[in-house]
Amino acid sequence: MKARNPGEKLHLNLFVMGNGHHRAAWRHPDSCAERLGDIAYYESLARIAERGKLDALFFADGMSVGSVEDGFHWHLEPLTALSAMSRATRRIGLISTISSTFYTPFHAARLVGSLDHISGGRVGWNVVTSMFDSEARNHGYAAMPPHAERYARAEEFVQTVLALWDSWSDDAIERDRQGRYADPDKVRQIDHHGEHFLVDGPLNLPRPPQGNPVLVQAGASSQGRDLAARYAEAIYAVAYDLEAAQAYYRDIKSRVAAAGRTAPVPILPGLVTYVGSTMEEARAKQRELDDCLPVEASLRQLGLFIEQDCSGWDLDAPVPSLPPLAEFRGPQGRYATILRIVETEQPTLRELLGRLAAGGGHCTMIGTPESIADEMERWFHGRGADGFNLMPPSLPSGIEDFVDQVVPELQRRGLFREEYEAATLRGHFGLERPAG
């Protein structure tokens, strides 16, 4: 395993999510459940993250409403929210999810490009293809197009957006008050007539400050990993433990190399943290959120995941042993995660419900700033991660804990920047500005 270069540092994003990534976070008496539509709340999260010198804020996004009764997190539309948040901050990056299945490339190029101008080059675009029929049925499809078709469209979508951002040369604008505003030879049509899109161009917006806003992806399937390897400049990942993270990391880095690319392409697994000045305090924070879970509904949901009736199980006894994966006939991914948690952590039933309610299959670190920094360092040096996409179980307290306690410990170890050294998201991620 190649050692890290001296001075090489972690990259940290804040994954912005309602009142936090624990499904019951909004139920906590101190939660900001009243502020999910209040832009000042999101701005305050952004300022906390910037105080911690984080690389970027990240909004996931979906196109439909789930259950509004329990684990529901609605949020403002990411692009409009991030525009406001850009004015409440100066350096931190701003990453929005946009679905290639539901937007047109021209809208995506323009919205993201405009936000890059507004923020002075701090924008990233997380390319997703979306998953659910309920989303498709809000945008004219009777059902979600098949996986392969979505990815074929996504690739053409990305190519078209890149071409639109490049449709103005950096030096197109002359602003000669006695002559021309711009050189028409440097503002070119792209004449894209592909299988999924017809886009003549040029974009009605000069080249974004970053050239291309940063492309982010979270490829899990083989097709997704290939798309990420060819285009992504930073990658979000799901890894339950270091071993899983290392396998994903190796696979992606080799695909990136095979695609002939030399860019760093940082890989950032999701990370749920409970931080306390002692392990007991950290555990108590976790328990406090877990105790907010409505037990009956959670048991019902677990019952669906494992296809057993667990309503009679003892909440404070260890989870009974479960049939092996090979014998399970329902959806495999979630069941595998549950088996993994039960085997490695030997949780009580109550603890299992809590773990599933907060970032499920994502890595969870519980402890002191020192023990969490140890663990993050192990992932970093063990090449399971180039950084993390922070998923605080509750917001704002979870990101305050991280920024005020873990970040200084990482800085003390030389693992994280003490000040921003760049003004753009590309700069934070160590990416070159493309020549165009």
Site of interaction with its own copies (CB under 8 A): 26-29, 31, 33-34, 37, 39, 43, 62-65, 67-70, 72, 74, 76-77, 79-81, 83-84, 86-88, 102-104, 106-107, 110-111, 113-115, 117-118, 134, 137-142, 172, 175, 177-178, 180-184, 187, 197-206, 292
> By C-beta, is 120 or 347 nearer to its own copies?
120
The CB-of-204 to its own copies minimum distance in angstroms stands at 5
The CB-of-64 to its own copies minimum distance in angstroms stands at 6
The CB-of-403 to its own copies minimum distance in angstroms stands at 23
> By C-beta, is 209 or 384 nearer to its own copies?
209
**Do 398 and 392 form a contact (C-beta atoms < 8 A)?**
yes
318: amino acid identity, one letter:
P
> By C-beta, is 291 or 309 nearer to its own copies?
291
Report the 10 Å Cβ neighbour count for 94: 28
Q: Is 101 annotated as a binding residue?
A: no
* Local structure of 389: helix, strand or coil: strand
The CB-of-46 to its own copies minimum distance in angstroms stands at 12
> By C-beta, is 319 or 357 nearer to its own copies?
357
The CB-of-284 to its own copies minimum distance in angstroms stands at 19
> By C-beta, is 180 or 412 nearer to its own copies?
180
What tokens were used for 32?
A: 């900001």
The CB-of-304 to its own copies minimum distance in angstroms stands at 18
Q: Is 364 annotated as a binding residue?
A: no
> By C-beta, is 138 or 411 nearer to its own copies?
138
**Do 209 and 424 form a contact (C-beta atoms < 8 A)?**
yes
Question: Mind giving me the DSSP string for 199-249?
Answer: E----SSPPPTTSSPEEEE---SHHHHHHHHHH-SEEEE--SSHHHHHHHH
The CB-of-29 to its own copies minimum distance in angstroms stands at 7
Nearest-angstrom CA–CA distance, 366 and 273 = 6
Q: Is 321 annotated as a binding residue?
A: no
Contacts of 146 (CB under 8 A, 6+ apart): none
**Do 408 and 31 form a contact (C-beta atoms < 8 A)?**
no
Give backbone dihedrals phi and psi of 15, rounded to 5 degrees, phi first: -85, 100
Q: Is 141 annotated as a binding residue?
A: no
**Do 169 and 186 form a contact (C-beta atoms < 8 A)?**
yes
Asked whether the CA dihedral 242, 245, 251, 257 is positive or negative, the reply is negative
Contacts of 120 (CB under 8 A, 6+ apart): 209, 423, 424
The DSSP secondary-structure symbol of 383 reads: T
Contacts of 295 (CB under 8 A, 6+ apart): 315, 350, 353
Radius of gyration, alpha carbons of the chain: 22
The CB-of-135 to its own copies minimum distance in angstroms stands at 9
| Location of structure tokens 């995660």 | 337
Q: Is 28 annotated as a binding residue?
A: no
| Location of structure tokens 């197009």 | 145
Give the residue ranges of the annotated binding site: 61, 97, 147, 151, 221
Give the residue ranges of the annotated binding site for FMN: 61, 97, 147, 151, 221
